Amino acid sequence: MSRSPVQMLVDEASQTFKPGGPFAYHYARGKLGYDTIFHEMLRRGLLPQRGQYLDLGCGQGSLFAWLLAAGRLYDRGQWPEGWAPPPRPTTLRGVELMQKDVDRAEQAFGAQHPVVRVEQGDMNAVDFGQPDAILILDALHYFSHEQQREVLARIRRALPPGGVFLTRVGDASAGLRYRICNGVDRLVTYSRGHRLPRLYCRTLKDWVGELERLDFAVETEDMSGRKPFANVMLVCRVPH
Ligand SMILES: C[S@@+](CC[C@H](N)C(=O)[O-])C[C@H]1O[C@@H](n2cnc3c(N)ncnc32)[C@H](O)[C@@H]1O
């Protein structure tokens, strides 16, 4: 049976992690194959066509492999029907707390990649520079509410008019679905070599209220798919 363009995209992006060994490869395959946010951001063309991207808490850089693979597939005419043309970022900078993930990113992209740079650092401390798009996928809830507020305000200041902040958060008002989501998150984090983390949760209303107070135009989309989770994508745009 022939592969669909989406399967080709997952295959192409995951190949990037082959040099890092089976864990890196299968982690990427699982993430990119089943996590709807990666599909949705491309399908709907949510990110700026060009410019500099910053991924905070980027892990091994699965997002970067996904975006680069998207460009290659589009050029080969193997693009999913109905999806927006993929973005062509000029730089992809990642900041990641865990050195092990940074090492896997380096094995995947090499130390001298023309577009990708993944550095070890804490998003609470690093300078964000002047990117056109900032992403935080499932990492904001690892630090305190006060630190979250500070990071969000710094993101807003770093982005230009028309800039995009794309993130995913859990909705603490979602009852059992949220507790399941949190339990899975704690287990996955533990299995990746962290301590069992304390998670700093907020309701969706609280997240959106704070982002709107920062003068972002916020769009929300449920990202739980068919899983009993309470994950919500927030697409936050800086007005022109
Ligand atoms: C659930 S993982 C998601 C990784 C990646 N965003 C993805 O979608 O594949 C969360 C990541 O955020 C990182 N992280 C947590 N707190 C961080 C911080 N303060 N600064 C940078 N990275 C952080 C963790 O080490 C972990 O790799």
| Ligand 1 centroid, distance to 68 Cα (angstroms) | 20
Q: Is 67 helix (H, G, I), strand (E, B) or coil?
A: helix
Report the nearest atom of ligand 1 relative to the CA of 147. Answer: 19
Report DSSP letters for 98-146, one per residue: -HHHHHHHHHHH-TT-SSEEEEE--TTTS---S-SEEEEES-GGGS-HH
Domain that holds residue 212: 5-237
How many other C-beta atoms are found inside a 10 Å radius of the C-beta of residue 229? 20
CA gap 136, 123 in Å, rounded = 10
Instruction: Give the residues of the chain that fall short of pLDDT 50.
Output: none
232 exposure class (CB count in 10 Å sphere: 0-12, 13-18, 19+)? buried
DSSP 8-class letter at 45: T
CA gap 84, 34 in Å, rounded = 20
- Its pTM stands at 0.93
Q: How far is CA 105 from CA 42, 55, 62, 113, 179, in A?
A: 22, 13, 8, 11, 31
**Of 138, 154, 167, 190, best ligand 1 pocket probe by most atoms within 8 Å of the beta carbon:** 138
- Token duo for residue 229: 């989770």
| Ligand 1 centroid, distance to 114 Cα (angstroms) | 23
Report the nearest atom of ligand 1 relative to the CA of 135. Answer: 6
CA gap 145, 193 in Å, rounded = 24
| Ligand 1 centroid, distance to 79 Cα (angstroms) | 29
Specify the number of domains making up the chain. 1
Task: Region of 74 please: left (phi>0), alpha (psi -120 to 50) or beta.
Answer: alpha
Q: Which residue's alpha carbon is at the smallest distance from atom 12 of ligand 1?
A: 57
Ligand 1: list residues with CB < 6 Å.
31, 56-59, 62, 95-98, 101, 122-124, 137-139, 142-143
**Of 16, 96, 120, best ligand 1 pocket probe by most atoms within 8 Å of the beta carbon:** 96
Question: Is 229 in contact with 181 (CB distance < 8 Å)?
Answer: yes
Q: Which residue's alpha carbon is at the smallest distance from atom 18 of ligand 1?
A: 122
- Token duo for residue 121: 């650092």
| Ligand 1 centroid, distance to 164 Cα (angstroms) | 19
**Residue 97 confidence (pLDDT):** 97
Q: What is the CATH number of the domain that holds 83?
A: 3.40.50.150
How many other C-beta atoms are found inside a 10 Å radius of the C-beta of residue 207? 23
**Residue 199 confidence (pLDDT):** 84
**Residue 186 confidence (pLDDT):** 67
